[in-house]
Structures are given as structure tokens and as C-alpha cells.
Amino acid sequence: MKPETLVKRIIEAIETESPTTITYNGKRIKISKKIIDKYKHCEVRDDIDLKRIDKSVKEGGFLPFLPLIFAGLAAAGAATGGISAAVKAANAKKAADAEKSEKRRHNMEMEKIAQGSGVVYIRDS
């Protein structure tokens, strides 16, 4: 929409004294009762302050960010799952190493006992 068309629609809203919302370049411009009352007594329509009206433009809001928020939560959940899997694997390796060390110590002790004593109990049958 051209700026001239925007001005014409604003003038039309002021002359009919009906609050309205005009979409201009993807922005929603709300022509409120307050703006209409401010400019309805003006004879020359060149004094309409488009910059002040442009300040009342509402862009976006909360709803456009919902998909981004949910995507962020999903990514955080996936990262947490990956981190917990890594921690679980590290703990499992640590436990396996401890068990292997204990088995080695036990086997060495048993071999030492078996080789070193030289006394064998033989039962007569």
C-alpha cells in the first residue's frame, strides 16, 4: 500500500469517526478513538503525524514466538538426554573398571595362596 493510500484511509477513519485497524507494510496500525478525537477538528489534513500513529503499531506479540519456545525446550530436552547418556556410560565404565580391578586382585591372591603353601589336604577314602 502506498503512503498516500494510508493517509486517505486514515482521513476516512477520522471523517467517519470510526476506530479501525489498517495494515500497512505488514504492520497493523490502530486508529483509536483518541487519535480520531485529536485530528477530527483539523481542516488541513497535512498535519497528520504519521510517525506518532506509527508508534501505536502492534508487531507480533507472544504467539509468533511459541514455536521457537517449544523448539528450544525440545532441544534442551534432547541435550539433557544426551548428557545423561554420556554420564551413565562414564559411570558404567568406572564401575566395570573397578570390578575388573577387584577380579584381578582376587585372582592374584588365589594364585598366591595356591602356589605358595605347598600343603594340600588329601582325604583318604
Task: Flag whether the pTM goes above 0.85.
Answer: no
Give the Cα separation of 38 and 33 in Å (integer): 9
What is the C-alpha separation between 30 and 21, in angstroms, rounded? 4
The upper half-sphere exposure of residue 92, i.e. CA atoms within 13 Å in the direction of its Cβ, equals 6
Q: Which residues contact 22 (CB under 8 A, 6 or more apart)?
A: 6, 9, 10, 13, 28, 29, 31
Q: Per-10-residue mean pLDDT for the chain, 125 residues long? A: 72 80 80 78 61 58 72 80 88 95 91 70 61
- Retrieve residue 85's grid coordinates: 547418556
